Amino acid sequence: MGELVNLQRLTDSLVLSLSSLGVSAFFVENVAELQLAALKLVTGIFSQYEAHRKLIIEDILASLSRLPSSKRNLRSYK
C-alpha cells in the first residue's frame, strides 16, 4: 500500500482515510509486520502530500497521548 501512494495520485478523501488507517494501525501491539506496513504508508503519504502533513502529525500526537503512560516509553520498533 505504501508503494501505491508513491505511484498513483490519490484523492484528498482517500489520502485522509489511508493516513488515518496507517496511524491507527501503527499503534496495534504485537504485530510488527502491520506496524511496518503502516509506517511505510504514513511516510509515503507524508512525503507526497504536503497539504496533509499537519493532520498526520496531529493524528500521531493524539494517538501518543492516548497510550497508557507505561507504554509511552517503550522502544520496541526494529
How much of the chain exceeds pLDDT 90, in percent? 54
Tell me which residue has cell 490519490: 10
Nearest Cα neighbor of 49 from 15, 76, 14 is: 15
pTM of the model: 0.78
What b-and-e string marks burial along 16-37, b requiring 16 or more CB atoms within 10 Å of the CB? bebbeebbebbeeeeeeeebeb
Residue 29's pLDDT is 83
Give me the mean pLDDT over the 13-42 stretch: 91
Dist CA 57 CA 74 (whole Å): 20
